[in-house]
Structure 1
Amino acid sequence: MTNLSVNINKVATIRNARGGNMPDVLKFAQDAEAFGAQGITVHPRPDERHIRYSDVYGLKPLIRTEFNIEGYPCDKFIDLVLKVKPTQVTLVPDAPDAITSNAGWNVKDNFSFLTDLVERLTGHGIRTSIFVGTELENIEWAAKTGTDRIELYTEPYASLYPSDKEAAVAPFVEAARFAKNLGLGVNAGHDLSLVNLAFFSKNIPFLDEVSIGHALICDALYLGLQETIKQYKACLEQ
């Protein structure tokens, strides 16, 4: 069974547009869990343009499923996660001004940096995941860091899916199998949606987790949060 982790960044974006506390990010996370989400993901950035560091501290005692914090491992970020001690930290190579994650790590070029981080986080009982593309050599380098999992960056899959879904999924199937054979857990995220998730899940049935935010929040505007989570989970259960 693949877990659905709901990324609530966009909920915070709506709140921040007007100030105040509407919608309530903390309550939204609790409701998402109540409606069946098996995890909550946040991606705090230095400018706090969506999730704020205070949100992360507020969420920690409320989350009853898995709490995944993703982000670029600057000193401020690492200090946050060591204080909060979430279930999982997903390390992404975002620049501070990035609109959204748009590439995985070149692990070989950042090997010492990532290895030290993984060792430090693991020492505090936090599961680690490294955000990567589908290059097999890069995944092999990721395994050498000691990370528990990788997260496959799925925007290339989502982009090609409408025109050739078999070609779109093929490199991800190969990458996921390769990672699994190396003893890594496999997560996935970025631009997965109700349109393309079921096919992805069907072809990679041993996925541990998908993290979905933007598309899921957009769907919830039309379907409601409870129905949206139900439909996303159905995609993963086929």
Structure 2
Amino acid sequence: MTRLSVNINKIATLRNARGGNVPNLLQVAKDCELFGAEGITVHPRPDERHIRYRDVYELSEVVTTEFNIEGNPTPEFMRLVGEVRPAQVTLVPDAPDALTSSAGWDVVTHHTFLCDTVAQLREWGIRPSIFVSTDLKQIEAAASVGTTRVELYTEPYAAEYVSRGPEEAIAPFRRAAETALAVGLELNAGHDLSLTNLQFFAEQIPSLAEVSIGHALISDALYLGLQETIRRYRACLGK
């Protein structure tokens, strides 16, 4: 069944707004696991505006489920994951000043770079995942660089779920999932998945291995509490 990985970037954003250690990022990560999350995701950026590099080292000591680190594979990022050795690294083509992830890789253009990066991750015993759109050419190219998984960028699904309806929204993602399976890739998904649209997505993409959800889940927790929120997201995944 599809695993739920909770992205805790927003907890770090709240902490950093006042300095100090409230809320306690490490405790929130442990609570997420206690309440049923099957993974913890972080996305450290060069400006450390939410997750700091120090956080990643400290989290690696306490996370007992799957630890997933997202980011653009700059030399500094690669040194970090090489030292931490998380279960999974998700490669995301973010510019340093990006507000949030907003596009998948052009794998065809960056083929050699991604081949080298994926090979290094695999040498370290880390499962690589590449952030991609539903462009079938890019998914096929991802398989040729040696990655184990791709993560589908689901913001377009979330937007079209509201504007055009669930069936039209899911159609390109079904095709992308079928292509990923056909070329031997496992499938993750993330970005703007929520209690509104997650259940339909998971039902329509039964091969989905993992979803990574942060902004919507942490926002829901302000109203529902963290434990109840994680319970509801797990229920959307059939758990």
1:205 to partner: Cα distance = 1.3
How many angstroms does 1:181 deviate by? Answer: 1.4
- Percent of pairs identical after alignment? 65
Separation of aligned partners in 2, 1:197 and 1:15: 28
1:184 aligns with 2:180: no
1:197 corresponds to which residue? 198
Aligned to 2:5: 5
Question: Where do 5+ consecutive residues of structure 1 fail to align?
Answer: none
User: For 1:233, what is the secondary structure of its paired residue?
Assistant: helix
| Structure 2 residues not aligned, in runs of 5+ | none
Q: Deviation of residue 177 (structure 1)?
A: 1.2
* Residue of structure 2 in register with 1:56 after alignment: 56
Match of 2:36 in 1: 36
- Aligned ranges for residues 62-211 of structure 1 at < 5 Å? 62-163=62-163, 164-211=165-212
- How far the C-alpha of 1:93 sits from its partner, in A, is 0.3
Distance 1:190 1:75 in 2: 25
Query: Match for 1:150: what amino acid?
Result: V
Please name the residue that 1:221 is paired with: 222
The letter of the residue matching 1:84 is V
**Deviation of residue 170 (structure 1)?**
0.5
Residues in 1 aligned to 2:138 and 2:77: alpha-carbon distance in whole angstroms: 24
Structure 2-normalised TM-score?
0.99
Q: TM-score, normalised by structure 1?
A: 0.99
By how many angstroms is 1:194 displaced? 0.1
Shift of residue 206 of structure 1? 1.4
Aligned length: 238
Aligned AA (1:115): C
- Give 1:38 deviation, angstroms: 0.2
Root mean square deviation, CA, Å: 0.6
Distance 2:178 2:39 in 1: 24
Partner letter of residue 188 of structure 2? N
Displacement of 1:61: 1.4
